[in-house]
Amino acid sequence: MNDSSRQAKFLKDYAPPNYLIDAVALDVSLAPKAARVASTLTIRPNPEAAKTGQPLVLDGEALTLQRIALNGKEFAPGDYTLSPGSLTIEAPPAESFTLEVVTLCDPEANTELSGLYRSNGTYCTQCEPEGFRRITYFVDRPDVLAVCTVRIEGDRDTTPVLLSNGNPVASGDIPGNRHYAVWHDPFPKPSYLFALVGGDLASIHDTFTTAAGRKVALAIYVEPGKEDRCGWAMESLKRAMRWDEERFGLEYDLDVFNIVAVSDFNMGAMENKGLNIFNDKLVLARPDTASDADYASIESVIAHEYFHNWTGDRVTCRDWFQLCLKEGLTVFRDQEFTGDVRMGPVERIITARLLKTHQFPEDAGPLAHPVRPASYIEINNFYTSTVYEKGAEVCRMLQTLLGRDAFRKGLDLYFERHDGEAATVEDFVSAMADASGRDLTQFMRWYTQSGTPELACSLDYDPHRKTARLKVSQVVPPTPGQSSKEPMHIPLKVGLIGANGDELPLKIDGEELAEGLLEVTEREQVFEFQNVPAPPTPSLLRDFSAPVRLTTNLNPDQVEFLMMHDSDPFNRWQAAQTYANNLMTAAARSGLDTGPVTGTEAGRLAKALATTVRDETLGAAYRAEALKLPSESDVARELGHDVDTDAIHAARGALRAKIGDTIGDTLAEIYQAATPPGPFSPDPESAGLRALRNAALDLLTATETDAAIDRAMRHYREASNMTDAIIALSILSHLQSPVRDEALEDFYKRWQDEPLVLDKWFAVQARATRPDSVETVRGLLGHPKFSLKNPNRVRALIGSFAQANPSGFNRADGEGYRLLADQALAIDRFNPHVAARLLGAFESWHTLERRRQAHAKAALESLANQELSTDSYEIVSKTLAGT
Ligand code: PHE
Ligand code: ZN
């Protein structure tokens, strides 16, 4: 396959657009099979363009052209050229002109869910990154910003609600049971932020008064009957609006802010100006249908999309290579928000765990790319954890290095300079450098070099000089297309802990080190701490101050000491994780010998965990995190090569059982005691208590004694909220016991007509680690309630299996790989975006032991021999090409 869409695009080839579009007036008439879009564009040659007199090339896909006129004059067929993907006008006027284009598109046939489509009868749009061209012909790139007015017309009965960006300006009836609404967005924006919704939707309303006194009407639109599940999203929105004012001085700028929840959506949610469109999974919550985890993701995604109003909408991206400019920064902002409204240290743990689980493998595999990629074939494939989560870490490191105040000044300067513009990463970093007076040249490598830096630290104590020397070396491993790397600028937060657990003063060259922050800039560096009275234990990379892999010369006793005494909550947690990981990797390496995870060292880990969970000063949510052992994928990542997922599963299972057995009394006490009082409330404290209790239950059940299984089943039966019910179901799902089937059946009967809850039922079974999990998933593919067309259902069943069931997906006979390949191929025919995302699950195939590698490779090769979409072609070919 060699069509032109398969060619890589390069950042270095960026050129400004030849034409600018200052204003757009759209007139959209909604109809299921032929929506008519009349667009009037005010266009002028771009004074910044390299050459004048260039042809005007408009992007357009899956459109039927009905009419085209320039300055009111109808075109003859020879005045323009239509080709797949574009409409070219060879010689447009040299001055500003008006272009009118009328096209038809087919919302019902739109299975890609990009452009204008229907979800359960509701008309909605998704334009980022390149969907607007599926609605009308346009210069569909983010550096063309236009002021937009939209008139929407639809049936009064089936589409009583008509929404678009900006503020509502007019509405009325039209004969023939039709009606219309006009919306105007005064803020110039790129086409990817356009949105439109038409449907029979219910809504809840509220208001928010900004710090400046502007009263904003807030609304959330959902399918009728779901209004009772919007309260949490609305509260989250108001919290986010207030927080952005207080923390960053950023206020909302329109009269209305609307959110719409739809059930078919490729991603989580979308920040269209004034009209955020959400996957309903990230809006709808009621105690009986949503878990604490759902409540938490709703809060953070509502905030994320809202925060985009400034970081993304007011200042947007010049080109798609700059995606991290809006995404990394906005994720950083939503993480800071969550840290403030919940428990900071716990959030840091959750964030770091997520980064290590998803981003580290990406950075170590064939799909590794810099936070700002230098090339792509299909931009849809670059909404990755590197761009999002590592991109957020890069912003966090800036804040750490500059300090909060200077970082805030830098952000203020960035808005002052670029409001209303399409900016670059350089613009952002320059604002930070100028506001702080710091040289960030070396820091820029975080945006251009891929791969996770490996930081090796060792501490030596000199009892005569009373000094502690910390040797630090860094290596950035080679990644595809980047064989040699330059050293990075790494903020390294450290502490030295005395024998009694006290923090020792950190003195370097006679000066006290502020907040324990070291700046690593060279390949090899030595930091010498003075006046250290006795041999200390170093606590390194506190608060996970940089997204690096750390290795140290700490011995097991020192790690154990840290898990009891480190005053940095992150590192205290990390110490236990490291300890557990070391035991599990040792066991997994020695095949099926579980000695390391059942012996005395495992017993020591169990006792340290007991000390932590009994320490009530620590907070329930934190103690719950402490009880969660590193996942099977964490262990696989630590191993790095010759991965045998069965050995890892066995090792982790044995360690869990050992802990459940050794500290069973403590866990049982916790289980009895940690019940939140009163009726269900999703607040972080109550959620923390539930998490602690459920983490205890999980380890208790790992022993698989009859009593433990009975307890889990009782937990399921007595659950008065989804959090407890789904945890119990998930714990039971791994067992070979009739109660498992009983619970699954009960859950299905109760929730079969609630799509979001039914997704959980599919997901629990897909994740269950049982020898027949491939067959279970295959069976569920044929379930009457399963559909390949709904992305949430696909992710629940196929996504969960491939991403969250390592021993099932990587089954030694290769059946897991074949299942994924078959299903992804089927989906690729109608929704390439979702298919390509699923195929990302092959990214670590090169780390597997030989037999599994061969099966994975065969599955990938069988895909490569098929007719694939550009999206899937890019993933498959790069994954096969390897590192
Ligand atoms: N821009 C969205 C967000 O992160 C994600 C998204 C990308 C949604 C592409 C749809 C399509 O907030
Ligand atoms: Zn985003």
Query: Which residues lie across from 854 on neighbouring strands?
Result: none
Distances in Å between the alpha carbon of 841 and those of 271, 450, 806, 836? 27, 19, 10, 10
Q: 259-294 burial, b if ≥16 CB within 10 A, otherwise e?
A: bbbbbbbbbebbbbbbbbbbbbbbbbbbbebbbbeb
Q: What is the tens place of the pLDDT at every residue in 41-92?
A: 999 999 999 999 999 999 999 999 999 999 999 998 889 999 999 999 999 9
Task: List, in order, residues 6 or more apart from 292 with CB less than 8 Å away.
Answer: 682, 687, 690, 691, 723
Q: What is the tens place of the pLDDT at every residue in 98-131?
A: 999 999 999 999 999 999 999 999 999 999 999 9
Mean pLDDT score of the chain: 97
Q: What is the tens place of the pLDDT at every residue in 668-696?
A: 999 999 788 889 999 999 999 999 999 99
Ligand 1 atom closest to Cα of 271? 12
Q: Is the per-residue pLDDT at 514 higher than 90? A: no
- The answer to whether 105 touches 62, Cβ cutoff 8 Å, is yes
Structure tokens at 413: 């300067």
Span 226-231, average pLDDT: 98
| Rounded CA Rg of the chain | 28
Nearest CA to 859 out of 880, 874, 875 is that of 880
Distances in Å between the alpha carbon of 600 and those of 647, 655, 659? 20, 11, 11
Does the CB atom of residue 128 touch ligand 1 within 6 A?
yes
How far does residue 269's CA lie from ligand 1's centre (Å)? 6
- The answer to whether 345 touches 569, Cβ cutoff 8 Å, is yes
Structure tokens at 332: 């950083």
- The answer to whether 363 touches 450, Cβ cutoff 8 Å, is yes
pTM above 0.75, yes or no: yes
What is d(CA 730, CA 743) in angstroms, rounded to the nearest whole number? 10
How far does residue 851's CA lie from ligand 1's centre (Å)? 38
* CA-nearest residue, atom 5 of ligand 1: 270
What is d(CA 797, CA 786) in angstroms, rounded to the nearest whole number? 9
What is d(CA 72, CA 314) in angstroms, rounded to the nearest whole number? 33
Q: What is the tens place of the pLDDT at every residue in 174-227?
A: 999 999 999 999 999 999 999 999 999 999 999 999 999 999 999 999 999 999
Q: Is 537 exposed, middle or buried (0-12, 13-18, 19+ CB in 10 A)?
A: buried
> Taking the chain, what is the end-to-end CA distance rounded to the nearest angstrom?
23
Does the CB atom of residue 379 touch ligand 1 within 6 A?
no
Q: What is the tens place of the pLDDT at every residue in 705-741?
A: 999 999 999 999 999 999 999 999 999 999 999 999 9
Task: List, in order, residues 6 or more apart from 410 with CB less than 8 Å away.
Answer: 398, 402, 431, 432, 433, 434, 435, 436
β pairing state of 19-29 and 146-155: parallel
| Mutational pocket test of ligand 1: of 383, 389, 871, the residue with most ligand atoms within 8 Å of the beta carbon | 383
Does the CB atom of residue 327 touch ligand 1 within 6 A?
yes
Which one of 100, 130, 305, 378 is the catalytic residue? 305
Q: Which ligand is nearest to the CA of 392?
A: 2
Predicted pLDDT of residue 257? 99
The yes-or-no answer on residue 305 being catalytic is yes
* CA-nearest residue, atom 11 of ligand 1: 128
What is d(CA 337, CA 241) in angstroms, rounded to the nearest whole number? 10
Which residue intervals of 56-151 are DSSP H helices?
none
Structure tokens at 506: 């950190």
Q: What is the tens place of the pLDDT at every residue in 282-292?
A: 999 999 999 99
Does the CB atom of residue 126 touch ligand 1 within 6 A?
yes
> Which range is least confidently modeled, 393-407, 534-548, 581-595?
581-595
Predicted pLDDT of residue 77? 82
Q: Is the per-residue pLDDT at 1 higher than 50? A: no
What is d(CA 184, CA 108) in angstroms, rounded to the nearest whole number? 27
Predicted pLDDT of residue 592? 65
What is d(CA 804, CA 820) in angstroms, rounded to the nearest whole number? 13
| Total length of the chain | 883
Predicted pLDDT of residue 4? 66
Which residue intervals of 755-864 are DSSP H helices?
755-767, 773-781, 791-794, 800-804, 806-809, 815-828, 832-839, 850-864
Span 429-436, average pLDDT: 98
Nearest CA to 460 out of 472, 447, 469 is that of 469
Q: What is the tens place of the pLDDT at every residue in 848-874?
A: 999 999 999 999 999 999 999 999 999
Structure tokens at 244: 């952005």
What is d(CA 252, CA 233) in angstroms, rounded to the nearest whole number? 17
Predicted pLDDT of residue 94? 96
Amino acid code (one letter) for 527: F
* CA-nearest residue, atom 9 of ligand 1: 128
Q: Indicate the DSSP class of residue 165.
A: S
Distances in Å between the alpha carbon of 211 and those of 241, 334, 662, 712? 10, 20, 55, 49
> Which range is least confidently modeled, 305-319, 581-595, 762-776, 807-821?
581-595
Structure tokens at 43: 């266009």
Q: Which residues are placed with Cβ below 5 angstroms of ligand 2, an ion?
A: 327, 330
Residue 2: pLDDT band by 50, 70, 90 thresholds?
very low
